Amino acid sequence: MTSPPVAAANAADYATLRMVQLRQACRDARLPVSGKKEDLARRLQVVKQEGRQEVLARRQAYTGAHAHRRAERSRSPKGARRARGRTSRNKQVRSRGTYLSVEDFRKLWWAVKDGRLSCSSCSSTSAPCCCEGRFGLFVLCRSGRGGCGQRETLVRAMQRLPEGHVPVLTVELEDLQHVRLHASGADASLLQSLASELGMAASPPRLDWSDPSTLFFETDDPEGPSPRAGRVGYVFPLAESTDILQRLEALAKRVAAETPTLDRIRMDVALPGVMLARNDGQHDVAVGSLVEGALSRAPVLSRLRDFQWRGVRRALELKGRCLLADEMGCGKTPQALAVLAAYNTWPALVVCPACLRLTWAEEIEKWLPGLLQPRHVHIIYSSNDMLGPESKSELCVCIVSYTMARLLFQNLRRRSWRVAVVDESHNLRSRGSSISAATSAILELLRPLDRLLLLSGTPSRSSFLDIFTQADLLCPGLLGDFEVFAKDYDEPRLSKMGYLDRGKRCRRPWQLGLLMVENLMVRRRKKEVLEELPPKRRRVMRLALSKEHIGHLSEAELEANTLQERCGLLKLVASQSWLREKLEQCVAMGQKAVLFAHHLRVLDRICSLAQGIGCSFFRIDGSTPALTRQALLARFQTQAASPSPSPSSPLLAVIGITACAVGVDLSKASFCVFLELPPDAAWLCQAEDRLHRPGQRQAVDVLMLCADREEQAPKRARRNESSARKSKGKDWEGDVAQCCQVDRQRWLGLSGRLREVAALQDGPAMMLGSAEHLSMAALDGDPADSGECESLQFAFEMSPHTLRLHPFRRDGRPLAMSLRPEEASEDPELFRELSLRESERLLQQARDFQKAWKSLTPLQQKMAMGRPYRAEDLQAEHFQVRPIAAPSTRRFLHPHPVGEEEQCEVFVHYETGRLSGQTVRFLQPMSSSSLETPVLLCMECRRPLPMSLELAESWSGNGTSLRVHRKSESGEGEMFCAGPCRARYFGKRSGASLRRQLFELERGVCQRCGLDCHGLWQNLKSSNSSWLEELQKHSRMAAESNSAQSAALHTLLSHLTRFDSESPDDFKLTEGSLWQADHILPVWQGGGACGLENLQTLCASCHSLKTSEETKQRAKARAARAWPAGRLRFGSSSGFWAKGKQDLSKDSPELRPKSATSHAAECTRSTGLVFPKSVS
């Protein structure tokens, strides 16, 4: 054998490779793979004839892969301490089986997208695509497009591409009339040479090039294109773009062919196909008349600030299809209501998160009091509130949550909506073809509308791709479909595990921001428009967790499963002394504070800490009802802070981040602590801006607790507590370091996403500015002198949603205001249109009306809703409950009654809720069978229903009385004409439904003693001690303060502890143990199968007393009842059998006493009555 040349690889060079590499090389060369390493190396030396440098590079690549795996292992807590302070010099994108740099992956990605990569088997160029599999991204030749189905790894596909660099020249919009061609880094010199041949002059640098953090996502990847690198740009008119780009493309092909180091020059062009030109002066006249109309209908809107009116004008210029994306606290809700008042077209649909339904009702009554009355606003809490017939409704605004909009989709679709508002519209997001059922239903409801307002302070919540659904809803076709949008704007990159990482960086942030601002979005930041707002400071307190902290947790807290929950508990233990000191300072100074957390066990521990130091607080989590939330937040905002721990002036708000961190006002507090980090940056911004908003007078201090490291305890302390930890928290021993790592990684992700999310949202507004300034001097006028009224008598209508009073004059004209008497003195602008005498008389009558209103029962208050009354008209005798129409001695009706009318069988399949996955059968009444098309009737009131459902194939016209009708996925709501009919139907047949309806009406307050049983249950549930100790504590506090509920609490305590006092903890206390739904007219007197008119809330002790009284009454009634002739009275000692029964039994065997069973059977045969077997 002749010796190989110097540059060729010999057997020794091949032997340096791994065995797996040698065998793979032999397979590729069609050589045997059997034998030792030396045998494989000699075979490859003879056949392959590769260069030595190529073989050494292959060996280094495999070593690099092992280095990458070692780097992954170094991310563990132990390895992280060893590798702390060292940085990687060669960051590269790797996945399982791939070893590609960022530049190589982009080259491969664009080759596949542009159709320049052919299949290795069938040579097709249109079939290959990048797909994600179980082990990462790979190249697939799609058989659906004429391919062969061949799969190939990224490394092999990259090896088949031609060598050479692929420069990228980006083409995007500069403004609506010009296009910019630019490149960065090493591609900038190539662009300069091409532009010089075309005779193009360089343009000045763009605004984002000097400060890229204000416009697009920053990246920490040094391999990626640095936005601060040298950039060159050329601007030319949009009308000439086609000709210039054609000449440039031809020149680029010639230069790439002549340059051996270049594979090709890629032109990255993505100009939108649909653009709406902005013309500020086109709608000035129409917009001005609309603004004047809004002010005339709702004079309260004159309080809006100048920047808010600029947003309203811009929304009107966009013809009512706009995304109001002002930062949280800038007042997006009043702007949306001003737009509704300007158009004055009803009905309007408001879709918002469930926790914001009452907030929207409050804002409507605050800003549009003269235009809309409380009876014009309808809130959908459940299926019992669904809309009824359109002809009999005064509905103007319907407020519904995202979930209920999906469940009542068919009911909402029948209504002819004129305008819609979607709050927190970032929830309408989708990734490709995956879209939630709620989002799909809402999009189908909103697409046909001409006017649509989307509100969101964070329109792109976690990625710029989230904004596509909102933009496509407002301007269809502006960004194309989702795949085209992702291809034109997304920067391709590969994750560390080998999967495609979408939405991390936008390639065209300038163009995307330009299209959004010019066509559909209004975005302002608080620091730009609210200069007088105090600053906001965000701080991070880094904690060192230790295994000693596990010993301070209770048994219930040790049951936490997730690392996030365990981390929250350990952080609370580590910071407990500091937090206690901080809360004690707040109590001493009367300063209000807010604590944010996520998990229930963490919230429970916070409440226990607040109770221990005597700090008055309230808690809101996912289980807190909407009405209770609104009352707690209103009390937190209106009551002055006081050092005394009075329940009426809470100093501390314990808030669940995902339960009540959006759309609420907590501006009375200036200090908040995040005991658990939010799940994403949008939740963090939303939560902290509940404090940093208009009305805040102090600098807002936001403090976040972050677990930074694991602290090693001293040896002596470890020995002392080793025995305690052996039996307590064994599963937590190895999780302290993982908790620190998880929390640290979450904070790093949050801090990065805070910059990235703010970049896209704030950039367009900063670079393009806002609309022309609108002076309110021309809109405001001197209020007309109202003079003396003929009579100073006012009537008031009580709002069922917010308990605000809406005053009316004597002639029935509404005043443009809504008020709460206790807050009226704090707002000097409220009585601006009234004289001093009128305002004083109005305020006095409002207090009298509120006092008379409280004297009514909750049911009477419900009957008085919907029309104005004077205070003297609110008498209890004016609202008498109508008698029961059909008295019944049965507690509940049969679930499937058989009526005289024809009925059809309805099968309802439930997909969500407690009946998820089950199918329930109903019998629904129908119209006469003589009609060709049968009409379904409401199951409660028997009114005809719209035929929106199709009958099943088993429908038959053979005259039978039972028809079959199948329905799926929509629930039983379509079998009723309105929500009240559904409530009455299920209330007569289900105790749980009746109890829920009674709770919505009376809120768990006893109607005899006035004890707030629901509030008591909330306190008992949030307490860390046993319910008996907490109840005894409340009873002692009520007795010491001489409270009116002292006797009620003492009686309730005695009633609940009537069992053995030695084991009170064995009794499982629930809310049902504290109060009962009681029938006012007993069931045995005909009060069964009733509605709310015969129900009242009674605490357990009052219900027990009432039950005993009714039992005595029923016994007296039975005793006074005439006994039927011929019927024997059993159980009496003075009866027939008492007189010498032994003697008679001897003489007459037929008169001998019989057993209870035979005696009852004989009496049944003789009298026809059924007697129990236990009678004697």
Would you tell me the crossing angle of helices 241-258 and 187-198 to the nearest 10 degrees?
Answer: 120
Q: Which tokens hold the place of 860?
A: 């009477």
What average pLDDT does this structure show over 432-459?
86
**DSSP designation for 426:** G
Closest by alpha carbon to 974, among 136, 391, 351, 413? 413
Closest by alpha carbon to 694, among 528, 532, 538? 532
Would you say residue 851 has pLDDT above 60? yes
Q: What are phi and psi of 262, to 5 degrees?
A: -110, 135
What lies within 8 Å, CB to CB, of 675 at 6+ separation is: 568, 571, 572, 575, 595, 596, 597, 602, 606, 705
Q: What is the pLDDT of residue 803?
A: 83
Report helix, strand or coil for 633: helix
CA 175/CA 272 separation, integer angstroms: 12
| C-alpha of 667 from chain center | 22
| C-alpha of 423 from chain center | 11
Closest by alpha carbon to 347, among 391, 395, 387, 392? 395
Sign of torsion over alpha carbons 309, 311, 312, 317: positive
pLDDT bucket at 758, cuts 50 / 70 / 90? low
Would you say residue 86 has pLDDT above 60? no
Scored b (16 or more CB within 10 A) or e, 253-275 reads eebbeeeeebbbbbbebbebeeb
Helix (H) / strand (E) element for 286: namely helix 284-297
Closest by alpha carbon to 508, among 547, 470, 480, 541? 480
What lies within 8 Å, CB to CB, of 996 at 6+ separation is: none
CA 413/CA 408 separation, integer angstroms: 9
Q: Give the other-Cβ count within 10 Å of 828's Cβ.
A: 8
What lies within 8 Å, CB to CB, of 107 at 6+ separation is: 158, 161, 166, 263
pLDDT, tens digit, 9 for 90 and up, residues 154-163: 888 888 888 8
CA 506/CA 533 separation, integer angstroms: 32
Would you say residue 120 has pLDDT above 60? yes
Would you say residue 602 has pLDDT above 60? yes
Kindly report the average pLDDT of the chain as a whole number: 75
191-195, 445-449, 900-904, 1032-1036: which is most confident:
445-449
Q: What is the pLDDT of residue 13?
A: 84
Task: Considering only residues 399 and 611, tell me which one the structure prediction assigns the higher pLDDT.
Answer: 399
Q: What is the pLDDT of residue 378?
A: 93
Closest by alpha carbon to 463, among 756, 752, 748? 756
pLDDT bucket at 882, cuts 50 / 70 / 90? low
Task: Considering only residues 21 and 59, tell me which one the structure prediction assigns the higher pLDDT.
Answer: 21
Paired with 128 in beta bridges are 141
Contact 51, 9 (CB under 8 A): yes
> How large a percentage of the chain has pLDDT more than 90?
7
Question: Which domains are present in the chain?
Answer: 1-76 (no CATH), 168-269 (no CATH), 284-528 (3.40.50.10810), 532-713+731-754 (3.40.50.300), 795-879 (no CATH), 1006-1058+1076-1119 (no CATH), 1137-1167 (no CATH)
Scored b (16 or more CB within 10 A) or e, 389-425 reads eeeeeebbbbbbbbebbbbbbbbbeeeebbbbbbbbb
Report helix, strand or coil for 967: strand
Q: What is the DSSP string of 881-944?
A: PPPPSS-BSSSS--SS---SS-EEEEEEE--SSTTTT-EEEEEEEB--TTSSS--BB-TTT--B
CA 713/CA 718 separation, integer angstroms: 6
**DSSP designation for 643:** S
Report helix, strand or coil for 76: coil
Which residue, chain included where needed, has tokens 């004697």? 1176
One-letter identity of residue 198: L
What average pLDDT does this structure show over 63-76?
46
CA 478/CA 276 separation, integer angstroms: 9
One-letter identity of residue 955: W
Helix (H) / strand (E) element for 845: namely helix 836-854
pLDDT, tens digit, 9 for 90 and up, residues 488-510: 888 888 877 778 888 878 888 88
| C-alpha of 6 from chain center | 69
Find the angle CA(380)-CA(381)-CA(384) to the nearest 5 degrees: 80
Four-point Cα dihedral 848, 850, 852, 855, nearest 10:
-150
What average pLDDT does this structure show over 91-96?
41
Task: Considering only residues 721 and 45, tell me which one the structure prediction assigns the higher pLDDT.
Answer: 45
CA 415/CA 350 separation, integer angstroms: 13
pLDDT bucket at 532, cuts 50 / 70 / 90? low
CA 523/CA 515 separation, integer angstroms: 13
Would you say residue 1041 has pLDDT above 80? no
Q: What is the pLDDT of residue 641?
A: 44
pLDDT bucket at 1038, cuts 50 / 70 / 90? low
pLDDT, tens digit, 9 for 90 and up, residues 938-976: 888 888 887 544 443 344 444 444 455 555 555 677 788
Q: What is the pLDDT of residue 320?
A: 92
Four-point Cα dihedral 646, 652, 653, 654, nearest 10:
-110
Four-point Cα dihedral 180, 184, 190, 192, nearest 10:
50
Task: Considering only residues 141 and 699, tell me which one the structure prediction assigns the higher pLDDT.
Answer: 141
Closest by alpha carbon to 109, among 459, 568, 502, 440? 502
Q: What is the pLDDT of residue 740?
A: 79
What lies within 8 Å, CB to CB, of 1113 at 6+ separation is: none
Contact 364, 394 (CB under 8 A): no
Contact 267, 242 (CB under 8 A): no
Contact 102, 221 (CB under 8 A): yes
The answer, as to whether pTM is greater than 0.85, is no
One-letter identity of residue 531: E
pLDDT, tens digit, 9 for 90 and up, residues 201-228: 888 887 766 655 444 333 334 344 444 4
> How large a percentage of the chain has pLDDT more than 70?
73
CA 859/CA 128 separation, integer angstroms: 69
Would you say residue 366 has pLDDT above 70? yes
What lies within 8 Å, CB to CB, of 411 at 6+ separation is: 386, 387, 973, 974
What average pLDDT does this structure show over 667-693?
80
Q: What is the DSSP string of 489-527?
A: HB---B-TTSSB--SS-BS-HHHHHHHHHHHTEE---HH
The CA–CA distances, whole Å, from 1137 to 417, 1127, 1141, 1171, 1174 equal 79, 15, 5, 19, 18
214-223, 709-718, 1113-1122: which is most confident:
1113-1122
One-letter identity of residue 210: S
Closest by alpha carbon to 4, among 58, 57, 44, 60? 44
What average pLDDT does this structure show over 110-119?
85
Task: Considering only residues 299 and 1134, tell me which one the structure prediction assigns the higher pLDDT.
Answer: 299
Please report the beta strands in 512-600, taking only residues with DSSP state E, as ranges in sequence order: 521-522, 536-545, 593-597
Which residue, chain included where needed, has tokens 């440039």? 248
Q: What is the pLDDT of residue 869?
A: 87
Q: What is the pLDDT of residue 773?
A: 32
pLDDT bucket at 904, cuts 50 / 70 / 90? confident
Q: What is the pLDDT of residue 756?
A: 58
Report helix, strand or coil for 438: helix
First-to-final CA distance of the chain: 118
pLDDT, tens digit, 9 for 90 and up, residues 919-938: 888 888 877 655 556 778 88
pLDDT, tens digit, 9 for 90 and up, residues 311-357: 999 999 999 999 999 887 788 999 999 999 999 999 999 999 888 88
Pairing of strands 919-925, 903-909: antiparallel
Report helix, strand or coil for 322: strand
Q: What is the pLDDT of residue 958?
A: 45
Paired with 173 in beta bridges are 179
Would you say residue 255 has pLDDT above 50? yes
